[in-house]
Each structure stands twice: as structure tokens, then as C-alpha cells.
Structure 1
């Protein structure tokens, strides 16, 4: 067991709370639903980036390279000033959903370089221009561009030319759970000496302005000499902490309270306000900070002049004692060296296989991104709707507005975020995919995430799982049973632990969710589902969540397949639990039966023209049922028709031998309901090694689907499986309803449609989550069909591969997005010269939301390590089996 694993165990057993402090600070709190108290629900406009430096947040805090305790009472992050910017750089800048020509987007360069599950060591890089940050230019230029033009990025402005920037590296190392060493290294990458102001900032989340009886915490200077200063933090619940500041910086204090004068032309409740340090430094307002050195926000002010190529280091220490004699002695750097060595040992243990240095670098940064993207998330819907006692009553429109049906929801936890700037809120189906790589390094946290999402203060009383704060009632694919089983299996394989209590606890709650799906999304009771957009945004001809043009409804191939997959996932969990608890054999039988009904429906429902399976094309399509009783297949070759592959499971013969009651019941069902097994892969036919298969897709349909999926002129890209077939580049799908034309074209990159927002695109790009499920499904088919079942890959290449080899080929194509190719270029960065050729940029990895279907270049949220972090698992799998 590595040292880091020992720390994880100590935290699990409550012997030492190593996870109390971590990288839990958001990178954007402004522009979120939580902070929106408007009548219109326009979160981006109600609380803007310009207001953020002056306006106290209600539900969370944000910062650069920041940390906090697990309830975000006390926060720490860095602030910077290059003597050129018009504001202090306290938070990352980006465009709102309305400002970006492809939706919201962060316009900064920052990188998660390292992190461990207990946050015993963390490393973050921020690249800070030496010239004025082009805030206005970025907004104006992107506003002028339409959806067909690329985004205007920070590199495009020229602020990094001639290396005129600072590399700011922030590192944390824990000497103990409550003793955090902080090392900030700033390197001048330019050719001449430049000044920079560093303000490592400590502050309390404002909890006292919303209710009259909340006790206010304090920060105050308690010691200062020629070697160090000490700021003491005193919180009524957290207790006392001390921030040691090396050297002789000026100590600046203010309050984390709103500057009402600036924002609303109303008198301030305190002379010292949130932007006091900004105003003191930028505007030379000497009275803006408290001369008594007390407040709720404080920062040592380091003024540095750094020569070309020089690095200067600032050291701090945040701990629960004020009795250190030499907080920055030899021990300080020794602890950093030790924690870095321990991090290396831990990650070498996670992936002990022979992989390239480039792959190891990608994997390490993927894991780092997963851990840096943990965030304190606080949202109590009832309080948010009704308002606070010490504040004005919110507009009456909120009583009928967003999330009104979710007043039970009470979220106050550390949760894995998709992207802490672009998506600083949990997304239900994203989170399920996060847990696969997270389970590799911290199964305790992965299990906790699934457990939280199914608790009664998250899950709706009717059984629905909350989607995301913008619309908690939206419907995401039901992948949580899959995630629970994968987390269980990964922990069992990598750590030798079988946590059946976790599996049973989550299973019981997912039964409620499954019932919600059956009752709410199977309108006609025919086992064909209408889930809505199901996370695939604009993949359809029109918005599948909204009322359809002309009325009617859609029978969804993907919605039905997701439910088939859900049945099999719950079946697999029930079988695992039944080995020790025979009562679960009955439940397993129920899901076996339900799956056969769903599989029969998707393969046989309706006439030849209204079945979801198109025998002529050899593909699954949605079927549109119009109010005029016309029915037609929506013949878009998309991921919708590949998702039926996900509904598959194999059952080992030893499992059946251990569960005789389950075996007897399923054999009875097969004998007495023969019509349900027609054209459905079922348990009656043994496969390789007497394994048994349950699948929506039988071997004949599998071959026909894979012919299209593995065709490079259709779905198969050099970098994975496209969301829509390239066939539609030459043959757009066009549908006319009531004189209105609806169409789908192949779009490999950014979206040209506003459906679901500018940064939604499932019309050609490559998405990691569904690619990962394709890879996993092919492996399951191989377990059953064996080496003798081969398919041409790529189609028309003459190269025949078994399905395991096909899955490996797809994995390698996905990994290739990030790997340097023969010319030393990474496809993810396309023509970004700085990332491709500059030695200080070329090994830094950004994990985008999705990828160009032809080039593999990154698109959308640039730090969505969440589900794109699945690349870490793919690298491990390829290393294990090469």
C-alpha cells in the first residue's frame, strides 16, 4: 500500500480527515442559477463578471487555483496584477452564453498539473499576460462573429507573443490534515524584467449577510516582524486557523461584503467592501482597506520585479496552530519533495503497465483534472425561491419559475463538476461517467457521489434524479446503475474490496428511479420510451424535449435502448447481491422479464414502416407519431441508432449455478413466452465457455450496425465514433411539417444551430462518454461471441478483427486525440501554434467537452476533464492488454 493509499484509508476510517481541505473552490460563481434572484431567470445578466469583484456571493465562492474546507467556510486563492490591467485578476474571465458566438466559454489558459485523492499534493499552472488583459476585445470580436466562424481566443489577441507572460505555478502540500504548505512560483517568460503583484488571498464565505442571527467570523493580523506575518482566522464553527506569510509583505484587510455604492448607488453597510483591495491597489484608494488590520478578507501584498527567465518563489502556510517557530525552514521544501515522490508512487501503482511517457503525462493530467474539478456545491431550492430574512423578498415570478417543483432539494456537498468554469454545477449523467476514472484512484469518493445523488435530499420524491441547476427536471440518460456496477467492479479488481453494502444501498434507490422512468416516460405502456433530448442536445431534427411541431410524440430508439441498458444494469446488480442475499433472485427475475419486453418492443413494435429497426437500412431510427396519426421513421444516421448496442450483459455459468431459483424462473419464462425471444439475443443459446447473453441486438443486427459504425465515410473517424454519420454531409436529412423545414446536416465541429445553446453539438463531433460505452459494449459482445466472430474494421478495408480488437482500435483512436503524432503535433490543438510548437506549452493538456469529427481538435468547454477524463481509463486498458 502506498503512502497516499494509507492516507485514503485513514480518512475512510475517520482516523485523520485528510479530505477536509481540498481544491473545492469554484472557478466561476457569477452567472450561475444559484446567484440569480431575477424575475426573468437570466442568470448570466443578473450577476456578471464585472459585478463579481464587488458583490458578495450567496451560495459559494470562486478564485484562481483555490482551496477551501469541505463546507467552504474559509477560502484561499491567488490574485495578480501586472500594473497594466484595469482590475485585479482575482477570477478567471470568459464569455457568457449570449456573448460567445458558440455559447459561453472561458478565455484564459490554466492547467491542472497534479493532484492526489486526499489533496496531499496539488499543482496548478496559470499563464498571466504581461500586457493588459483584452477583456473588451474578446467580447467585441466574438460578438461580431456568427456561428459559422471560429471562436476568438485569448491566443488570437497576441498577448502571448514574444513570450510576454508569466507562468504562475501554485502548489499545495499537506504536512498534516490541517497543515497546508503553499508554494507560489512565478517565472517571467519574456525577454525583459517585468513587475507583478501577487496577493495570496484568504477570506470567509459570506454567511452572515443573509440572516440576522449569523455570527460573523474575523481575520486579523496577530504577528508581524522582518521574517514573517501571521493572519489569524477565527470562525464560530471551523475554529481558528493561521496563515503564515513569508517575508515582509504589506497586509491588506477588507470585508467580503457587497459594494452597494458602486453597483446600486446605495450606501454601503460597511466602509470596507469586497473590492476594497482591488480599489486600494488599482485606484490608489488608501481608505479602501482597514488600517486596523481586521476583516473577513485579507491578502499579503508581494510586489515583485522579475528579470527575464527568472523565477521568484513566495511561501505561505495555512494551519490550525499559531505556534510554529520556523514555518518556512528546511522542513518546508522537504515536505514538498516527499509529497511529490508519494504522488509519483501512487500513480505508478494505479497504472503499472508499460505505456509511453506521453501517455503517462496525459493520464496524470486527466486524473489531476478530475480531482481539481471537485467543488463545494451549495443549493437549497426552498431558501433560494423564498429568499433570506435579512434581504428583500425575491420577485413573485420565482414562485412559478425555475425548479419550483424541487423544493425538497438541499445540496451542500463536495461534488465532481464537469468543468468548474463553464459548468460549475453537477450534471447527472456527466457525473456517472466521472466516476469511472475516479473509482480507479479514489473509490470511496466515487461511491459517495453515487450515494449522494440517490439520497432523498437530492432525488425527487417521485424518483427522478436531478439533472442540473438550470433545469432540475430535465431528463438525462439513466446511467447510474451502470456507474454503480462499474465503480463496484473497479474497486474489486484494483483494490480487492467488495462493497456490497454500497451496491445494495444505491440499488434500492435506483428502483424508485426506474419506476419513475416506467411511469412517466412510457406514454403508451408499450415499453417504448420518450425520454426527451436525453443529453444528446441537438442530435435530432428538432428539440425532442419540447412539444413537437404539429403535435404528437417520438418513440425514441435511444430512450428505449437506455431503458434496456438500465434493466440489464439493475439485473447485474441484483445477481451480484443475490449471491449473498437470495431475496434478490426475485428482483433479478423481474428485470430479466422487463428487459425481454423492451427488447421485443424495440425490434418488433408497429408495422414495417413504424418499427424502430429499419430492416432495409440495417439501423435503428426514432419514429415520429404526428397528431394527424401519420407515422414515419426519422431516418437520421446518428448515435441514436448506435445506443441499442449499450443494452447488453453476459452472465457466467457459475453465476447461474449459484442462483438456482433465478435460473429456474428464467427458463420457465423462456419456455412459456417464446414470442419474446424472436430476434432478441437471449439466455437460451450458450456462447463461448457456456456464457449467456442478453442483448437488444443479435449477431445479425450487430454485423449490420457495425458495417456503418466502422465505415470511415460514415461514423468512424481517425479519432473515434462521430455523433452523426458523415453520410449526411452529402445527404442532409430534411423533414417538412406544416410548411416548416427541419433538417440535419453533418457538422464535424461547432454548431451552426442555436438549439440547446450555441455550444451544444451532437451533429458530427466525437464525444467521449458514448464512445466509451461503445468500446465497453464491444468487449461484452466479445466475451460472448469469442475470437471467431470477426468484422471488417475499417469497413471495406479487408482487415478482419474480432470485437475485442475492434474495441482496442477505437480506444487507440480516442487516445490519439491527445497524443503527439509522427510530426510531434497533438490533434486536440489543430492549428494552435503555441500548443503545437512551444516547449513551454506542448506538454500541457486540455480536456475538451467534445472533438471535431474529422480533425480531432478540441471544442466546447476546455476543462471538461469530467467525462473526457475517461481517457485515463482507456490508457490503462490499452496498457494492460497490449
Structure 2
């Protein structure tokens, strides 16, 4: 049976049709972002707060609820709602800023990504809207009262969803063609009493004209008869479109421009500003909103009273075509796209349980819904725009001022469309490993973007994230490249060597940046900084070491060892088609050997990184006077050494005699004076295992990893050993520092206090460990057996161990015998409800003891890897 979605992806790849011209690229939060911040001190949250967003034009994008846009965010569609009680219409999601939350920023809404195909031919988004007044002030005030040791105060805690006094607002999109988008909005009253609802399906033209010169201003103008109205959209960048809609009570028009009188007490040049719709609905005065028949912001107004348990559906159609009967084929197109979506996902894991299929589909839906348009040109941002007041001079030496070559103007995979509406380099790499299962071409393009000259710095550094592009994210792009390559080859049957070459050549520059910048002593032990693991240390690793010393980081060194092995593997795969890359395999083999030697050697005059008695790798702190000590924190930073492992089969080695000769040379001459023989158990007629840690240390680390009193939780691998329930303390330069096991939200303010690596479970790190254990199994077969869990007397091989770890992670999302999911631990009552029970959120990280979801509630990006685990178990 033909798969229509795969046909669309093929058409996109061959440039026969542009199915990705329109998609869910509209951000859920543009306010409070760095790119909209023109303050002197870089106070993004307060410079552009939520309260300004309805009245103030954005410079670098737009936002909205359940929205879509063209790939460059010029024409934006989203929904606005009003329940008759709120002080403002609901046209964007609300949440707490970083300073407001007791654990940092946090979206305070209930919404779910239910369906999405890679071509965005069918999409479904569910928003739950209370019939009671939204508690804006209550959420702020209650969270500010709470300290870091208390739970966050969430929307469900306020009681506004009790007694089912809410609407389910389902927004669906189906593409009739690449520029023909059908829109269906279904509002269902979940209470048993009738309730009023106002709906504004909004079309907004992004405001370029207030900031720079345009050839002409876009316009939305009323057309058609009163009984069958539509609007024509004429945009100089996108073209001409028609928006058809069912008969409405009123048609609103205004301009998407800042209300300077309201915000700054300046005089407006005209009254038709961005917030006209809000004021009209909330005051029931439609005179200004209906006075014009054209503008740059438009919405038909629907006012309904919906009976208890009843639904009301609204249809719209955005198309380049001029249609006499725009809704005659509406239902048939929707039905076809829905069936095609179901077929597409059923083929990914056909043997999975129905609950697992639901988890997988929503994981991928969230991944696709968080594809976002992202625009940030640092040099222009620093200088300001030609038609606005120049920003303060202090900014020119402030945040990101050294990144003037960075010019981002693309659709990117975001970690989260509200809490993280910007990319993070290592997040995106993990996202791509998941994207490869459903859209390998998009995954490839995403990774390649980060190596472009308008992303990557001229010195080879990959930008970390917009709050500080110069920070250092772990270098997982090479690992992700191989994941995508392997998945793509499995799907297509063809190796994409061109993709490998393109990534390899650019990543070589980035690898050299790491070697030259982050190995300060040229000893192949790396410093790195915070490396994405935020508060995993006793102090903030990205702001220098207390007392002016330096920190040799096990995780930094492990990441570089993994990077070396990834580049080595890429070299060999390319060399099978282009033998000039065989020498590069030797180069990266050498890098790996030197790094492995450095990490494992036993120093006599300094504190050892490896503690043989405790069987663990610890970071080493060296102070300016030369004194060294190890910081004995048992965390995944030390455990990461397990992740750097590669098996090279004899059949591959035999193809490359020069590379094989180099291995034998290293084995003979390097091993003579070392206690750690990097090339373990290698014989010329066998397979080769390259592991950052020798076999005896690997066995100790895995035993610790699988110990339920240390790292192994019922739901996966914790980020910090449970033995630190008793706090670890160390004095540095006369100051006491400490760390203790915190299985849930952070109780310390490092990195805003909104993430925690001191005990919770993180999906991407667990995924790395699972893949590493499988790699060891590929070499050893059943030679390595471990108690699982440690002390249980139940012996498993490493493939079986990896499967059991996968099951624990998946189990967080699955219903138990009572119908509860661990991720919903604090809200089981609500999620037992038939209208909640199949809705799944993909959190940033998870409670180390009970699996409860923590952090960003919609960070589907890397948590979508649960879908990879479901798929992997089935394929086994």
C-alpha cells in the first residue's frame, strides 16, 4: 500500500512541491526573548513582558496559540479566545518569567500536541480553556511566596478546571495542496452547563515596515458578499492568498502596530493598533474594530453559547486559489489526511501496544509542532533598525556582541515553543536523532545549518543558545550525524555519503576549536565549562573556578573522546567510497588514544582522576599554587566515560590496510610504557574495541550504574548518585561548597534554578548510556554479564540490560494497572478523567524516585527519544 505522506516527503526532497512552505512555525512566546530585548543591561524578561505583548509589535517574529505561518513568518494564523470573564482575550500562552517562578520560568497553560505529519499535511493541537476567570495574579503571587524547596504552583492547582468547567479547543489543519490549508476549530463544552465563548481566528502580518524599509506594506482586505465574505491577502514577500471563513457576527480589522499611547504615553499616529481586538471584545464596543475593511491584522468574530457537553465547529480555508465553494470538499480532505497520518505512524512501530503507539505518535507530534521560525541577526540587533531609535550604546559590548557573523533566518527544531523558543545546539542534535525516524532529510538539513558560516563562528565554535552563544554545549553533532546516517540508510537502503562528507568537513573545524580552546594544558584532559549539565557541580562551571584555578572535567574529556570516535567512524564510512579519508581515520584514532591515555593514567604527583578504591572518575581541581584535589561527586559527569565506545568489525578493518597498520603501531609502541592499553585484547584477525575506559574500570562503572542505591531508579538512570542524600562538602579558597541528591526541582539558583542535574532522570543521557551498552554488547556478545539490578543475582548481558533500561524509561509514560502514568504523579485525579487520560506531556526531565515530569512541560525535543526507544525495542 502506498504511503501518501512518504510521497509528499519525496516530492519535497526532489523540489517537485514545497509542502513545507507552511507549517507550525509560529512561536508560542516571542515576548521576553533575547532577540526582542533592546535594554542596556540585557534584562529580556522585563524589557518585553507578557503585558506588553498584546499592544506592542514584535521585531523578530510573532507568537500565538495553535498557530501556523509561512517558513519566514510573514503571514501568521492563530486563535484568540474569550470566556467573558478574563481581563484580556487569550491570544497567546501565559507563563511566569524567570524571576517570577520559584523554579524559574514556567508556562501556566494546559495544551497538547496530538497529531502532526512531517509534511504538516495534518496537524492537531488541543488547548483547554477554563470558563472561569484565568488567575493571572494568583499564579504570580503564589509562586513568589514559595521557596525553592516547595512545588511550583500550577494551573491545575488553582481549581479552575474542577467540575469540568472548561472548553476543549481543538485546532486542526489539513493541506489540500502545498498552498491550500484547511482549518477546523472545534470547541467542546466539557461542563454540564451552557457557557459563552468568543472565538477570533486571527490572521496577522508580521510587522517589518515599522523597523525597516519595505517595497510596500502588506494588506488584508475584505472581499465577497455579506452572505459569503472572505479576505484577500497581498504580501510582497509571500504572494496573494484568500482566507475563506464561515459567516461571522463581525469582521475586525486593525494594524499590527505598537500602541505607543498605552505603553509609553506617546501620541499615536492613528487609533488602529495591535490591541484593538482585545479592547473591542473585553469592552463589547466593536465600533473601532469594525470601522475599517482592510489592515494588517484581521479576525472574524464568533460569539456562541455552547450547551453542556456540546461542540461547535468553525471552518476556514487559506489558499492561493479563488474558490466558489471553499468548503464543499472540506470534510473529504480532512478525512483523507487523518487516515494518512494514522497509516504513517502505524508503520513505524506496528507491533507496539496501543498505549505505546499513542505515546510514540504524540512524541513525534510534539517534535514537529516545535519546529519554529527563528530570526536573529546579531549585528543588526546590536546596531538597531533604521526606522527606530538606536538602542543604548552599552549593548554593543554586552550579550553576544562577539557573534556579529550570526544571521539566523530559518525553521529550527526548538526544545520547547514557549519556555525555550530558541535553539540550543546540543538539544537540536538530539532532536535530529529522533527526527531521522520520520523525516531524515529535515534532520540532515538541521545539523548542516549549525555548520553554516552564518551559524558557526569563524573560529569553529558552534553557537550554544541565544542567552549566551559563547557558552559551551556538549559536542554531540558528530554522534547525531551517525545516528541520522544509520537511520536513513535503514529506511532508504542507500548510504548518504555526501551528507557524511559535508558534516565531517565542517565538524573538523569545530573539533579543532575544542582541542585548541578547551585543553588549556595540552594534556588531552578538557575543561569545557558547564557543558549543558547546568548545576551538576558544587559551583557554576561556566564562570571560572573559585580561587582562580582550573577544573579538569571528566565529562568534557569524555565528550571529546566520544567526538574522536564519532569522527573516526565517519572517516571509515566515507573511506569505503573515497579512500582519501582513510588518513583521517588514523588522525582521529590518534586523538582518541591520547585522550584515553590521559584520562586513565595514574599520576604520582597529582590527585588521580580515577579513584581505584571507589571505582569512579572524579573531576580534578587545580589551584594557582599547583595543589590538586579531586571533587568526589558521583554524577553522570563521571559516568559519561562509558559513552565513548566503538566496535570496528574485522570486515571493515580489512578494507583499510594503512589504518590497520596504524593500529598495530599504536598497540606495539604506545602500550609499552602505559598502564592502560587503549587497544584492548586486539588481535590482527579480530574485531577492535575502542573504549575510553579499560575493561576492569568499565565493569566497576556499570555495576555502579545499575545499583538502585546509586544511579538506577525505577524509571531510568539518575543524574546524581543517591548516596549523596548525605551532602558532599568541599572547601575551596576558604569557602564551603556542597551538593546533595535532589531528585526533583532544583533548590539552588544556578542557571535560574529552572533545571536540575542533581538527581533527576534526563532522557538524552539515558539514551547515550543505552546506546553505549549496546555497542559493548556488539563486541563482547555474552562475555560481559552483569547483575541487574546490582545485588539481585539476576545476570543479564548488556543488550538485555539496555532493553530493561529502555523499558523503565518508557514506563514513565505508560498507564499502570490503575490507569495512572508516572509523569502525572501530582495530578492523577485529573488524568483519570476520560478527556485527559490519553493526553501526554513530554517534560524536560523526571523525578529520580517516582518519575514525575519536571521542568519545561512541553520540551518534546529530546524527550521525544522515548519514541526511539519504543521503535528500537520492536525492531529487536
Please give the range of the TM-score, normalised by the shorter of the 2 chains. over 0.9
What corresponds to 1:471 in structure 2?
468
Shift of 1:680: 4.0
For residue 719 of structure 1, the aligned residue among 700, 712, 715 is 715
What corresponds to 1:241 in structure 2?
241
Q: Distance in 1 between matches of 2:53 and 2:218?
A: 21
Conserved 8 A contact 1:217-1:235: yes
Conserved 8 A contact 2:601-2:675: no
Stretches of structure 1 that go unaligned for 5 or more consecutive residues are: none
Question: Relative to structure 2, which stretch is displaced further, 513-522 or 489-498?
Answer: 489-498
Question: Relative to structure 2, which stretch is displaced further, 628-637 or 509-518?
Answer: 628-637
Shift of 1:100: 0.3
- TM value normalised by structure 2: 0.99
What corresponds to 1:349 in structure 2?
347
What corresponds to 2:323 in structure 1?
324
Change (3 A) 1:648 1:676: farther
For residue 531 of structure 1, the aligned residue among 528, 531, 544 is 528
Conserved 8 A contact 2:346-2:357: no
Q: Distance in 2 between matches of 1:674 and 1:739?
A: 42
Q: For residues 250-269 of structure 1, what are the structure 2 equivalents within 5 Å?
A: 250-269=250-269
Q: For residues 145-544 of structure 1, what are the structure 2 equivalents within 5 Å?
A: 145-226=146-227, 228-289=228-289, 291-321=291-321, 323-329=322-328, 331-352=329-350, 354-544=351-541
SS class of match (1:86): coil
Q: Distance in 2 between matches of 1:130 and 1:868?
A: 32
SS class of match (2:436): helix
SS class of match (2:16): coil
Shift of 1:213: 4.4
Q: Distance in 1 between matches of 2:746 and 2:470?
A: 25
Q: Does 1:618 align with 2:615?
A: yes
Q: Distance in 1 between matches of 2:17 and 2:28?
A: 28
Shift of 1:686: 5.0
SS class of match (2:782): coil
Shift of 1:684: 5.3
Question: Relative to structure 2, which stretch is displaced further, 340-349 or 64-73?
Answer: 340-349
Shift of 1:683: 6.0
Shift of 1:608: 7.2
SS class of match (1:577): helix
Conserved 8 A contact 2:440-2:484: yes
Change (3 A) 1:676 1:503: farther
Shift of 1:691: 2.3
What corresponds to 1:31 in structure 2?
32
SS class of match (1:389): coil
What corresponds to 1:558 in structure 2?
555
Q: For residues 635-646 of structure 1, what are the structure 2 equivalents within 5 Å?
A: 635-646=632-643
SS class of match (2:620): strand
For residue 845 of structure 1, the aligned residue among 840, 847, 852 is 840
Q: Distance in 2 between matches of 1:253 and 1:90?
A: 16
SS class of match (1:658): coil
Q: Would you say how many aligned residue pairs link Structure 1 and Structure 2? A: 875
Shift of 1:287: 4.5
Shift of 1:878: 1.3
Q: Distance in 2 between matches of 1:571 and 1:634?
A: 32
What corresponds to 1:788 in structure 2?
783
Q: Does 1:824 align with 2:814?
A: no
Conserved 8 A contact 1:670-1:677: no
What corresponds to 2:828 in structure 1?
833
Q: Distance in 2 between matches of 1:249 and 1:449?
A: 44
Shift of 1:646: 1.0
What corresponds to 1:135 in structure 2?
136
Shift of 1:677: 6.4
Q: Does 1:869 align with 2:864?
A: yes
Question: Relative to structure 2, which stretch is displaced further, 772-781 or 672-681?
Answer: 672-681
Cα shift readout 1:367-407 (whole Å, capped 9, x = no counterpart): 00000000000000000000001001100111110001100
SS class of match (2:543): coil
Q: Distance in 2 between matches of 1:519 and 1:437?
A: 31
SS class of match (2:654): helix
Q: For residues 723-802 of structure 1, what are the structure 2 equivalents within 5 Å?
A: 723-729=719-725, 731-802=726-797
For residue 697 of structure 2, the aligned residue among 697, 701, 709 is 701
Cα shift readout 1:36-64 (whole Å, capped 9, x = no counterpart): 00001010000000000000000000000
Q: Distance in 1 between matches of 2:100 and 2:720?
A: 28
Q: Distance in 2 between matches of 1:338 and 1:660?
A: 55
Q: For residues 19-168 of structure 1, what are the structure 2 equivalents within 5 Å?
A: 19-168=20-169
- TM value normalised by structure 1: 0.98
Cα shift readout 1:624-649 (whole Å, capped 9, x = no counterpart): 00123221110000001110011111
Q: Distance in 1 between matches of 2:69 and 2:320?
A: 14
